Structure 1
C-alpha cells in the first residue's frame, strides 16, 4: 500500500487523512510507509477494478503501517474510534470483556482482513484487538475513507461487503456456540482456518495456529481441558497431527465428517 502522493490525491482526501492522523491516539513509533503494490494481501482488502485515476486516491488514504508486537493491543474496548485497520502480516484476536471482568475471544483476524468495524456504531471500540504474534496493520483513517467512498462507488461497495462479511461470520459463530458439540466446534474451527489460509495462497493442510489452547476454548465456548482432549482425540483418529502450534490436517474429508 503506497505512500501518499499529494500530486495525485484529491485535496479533500489528503486533508481529511491528515486530520484523522492528528486525531489518532496511536503513537508514531512503529509506523512505516505502506505500499499496496508490494503487499501480497491486496487482492483480499482492496476493491477490484480501480481505474488509473482512482488508485492514487486509495494509495494516498492508506498512508502508514504500524507494527504491533505479540501481546500488544492495537486498540482497547472503549478507545475512541478514528481508524479502520487491515492486517498486513501476522494475526490478531478480538476480545470482549464481561461485566464481571472476564474476557472472551470473539474473533481471529488473519492477513488481509479488516479490524475496527466494531467502532463505527458508537464512535468507540466495543472490543479490544490484540496481536497473537508480531504483526503489522495498515491504518485507514475513517473520516478520509468516508470522503473517498463518496467519490468512488467501488470503495463504498467494498466497505459494505466487509460489514456484511463480519455479520455473516458472527452469525456463523453463534451457530457454532449454540448448536454444535465439542468435536464439531473444534472441527469447524480448524476447517475455517484451513480455508482462510488457502484463500491467501498458503497451504490449507499445514499451518501455525497462533491462538493458544486457552484462546481457542474462549472462542469456542469450551474449557482448555476440553480443547486439549478434543485435539488429542482427533490426532488418535488420524484426522490431524499437532506439534505445539503447528497443525497438519491429515484427513480433510474425515474432519469434515465430524
Structure 2
C-alpha cells in the first residue's frame, strides 16, 4: 500500500528548493529550546560552533506549502523548529497516504538519503519553520565528530522503530485502538516539548488522521464522538482535551 515506484526517481529531476523566496533567519542550537530533542548527546564545547555553522539557517514554511515533494532532489536534512508538518506518499492512482506527523524538534528528509531523491512529500499543517542541514556538510562533520555520527545513526534507527510501530498499528489494532494510540502519541510528544499533554490543537484534518491510521474520515469522526460520550476526551474542532488518559490506554 505504501510502496512508491522508482520511476519517479529517474524521470523527475526537480530541485527540492520548493520555497526559494521563503524568509530565512540564523539558527543557534546553543539557545534553542528544543536542543534536548535534536542535538547529539556528548557534543563537546569545541564541536558546538561547528554544528551551528553547519545549520546555517532556518526557513519558514507557510501552511499548505511543501518543504519538498516526491521526486525532488535531496540536498538537505531538516529539523522542524516550530509548527507542524505532515509527510505523505502517493498511491499509483494519485491518492495521498499520510505517513507521519512531524512536530517541533522532529527530523525531516531522511527518505532522500538512499536514492538522492525524496520518496515522500512534507507539507506544513500550519505556519512553521525548519532548520536546514546540508547533507554533504553533515557527512563531513560526522567523520570529524563521533557524537554527530551517533546522532545520525540514532535518527535512522528511530525512523525504523516508528515505521515498525505504525505497521503494528495498521495491522493489528481496531479502529478505536488506532485513534486512541494516535492521541496518546501526540499527547506524549507534546509533553516532551514542554507543552500540555492533556490539551492540544490537532493540526491534522480528520481526513489526514484517517489516512495515517488506515480508516475513513467518517470512522475517525465517529470514534472521537464515541470517546467524548464515554468521557475519555473533549473534542471541540481541532482542540482536543484528554480527560481520562488511563481510559484511552486501556481501550
Matches of 2:203 and 2:104 in 1, distance apart? 13
Counterpart for residue 20 of structure 1: none
TM-score for both structures, normalised by structure 2: 0.92
**Could you say which residue in structure 2 is the equivalent of 1:115?**
108
Q: Residue 36 of structure 1 corresponds to which residue in structure 2?
A: 29
Is 1:69 aligned with 2:62? yes
1:162-177, aligned counterparts within 5 Å?
162-177=155-170
> Gaps spanning 5+ residues in structure 1: where?
1-22
Give, in angstroms, the shift of residue 37 of structure 1.
Answer: 2.6
Number of aligned residues: 236
- Residue number in structure 1 paired with 2:47: 54
| Deviation per residue, 1:205-228 (Å, 9 max, x gap) | 111110000000000001110000
Contact 2:200 2:239 in 1 (8 A): yes
Q: For each residue in 1:150-195, what CA deviation from the matched residue of structure 2 results, as whole angstroms up to 9, or x when unmatched?
A: 0000000000000000110000000111111000000000001111
Aligned residue number for residue 13 of structure 1: none
Q: CA contact under 8 A between 2:190 and 2:196: conserved in structure 1?
A: yes
C-alpha root-mean-square deviation of aligned residues, in Å?
A: 1.1
CA displacement at 1:35 relative to structure 2 = 1.7
* Offset from partner CA, 1:37-95 (integer Å, 9 cap, x none): 33211110011222121111001000100000000000000000000000000000001
TM-score normalised according to structure 1 size: 0.90
Distance in 1 separating the partners of 2:140 and 2:30: 22
Gaps of 5+ in 2: 1-14
Determine the C-alpha separation between the residues in 2 that align with 1:151 and 1:210. Answer: 39
Map 1:126-145 to 2 at 5 A.
126-145=119-138
Greater shift in the superposed pair: 198-207 or 107-116: 198-207
2:200 is equivalent to residue 207 of structure 1: yes
Report the alpha carbon displacement of residue 24 of structure 1 after superposing the two structures with TM.
6.6
- 2:10 match: none
Q: Which residue of 2 aligns with 1:257?
A: 250
Number of the residue aligned with 2:173: 180
1:83 equivalent in alignment to 2:46:
no
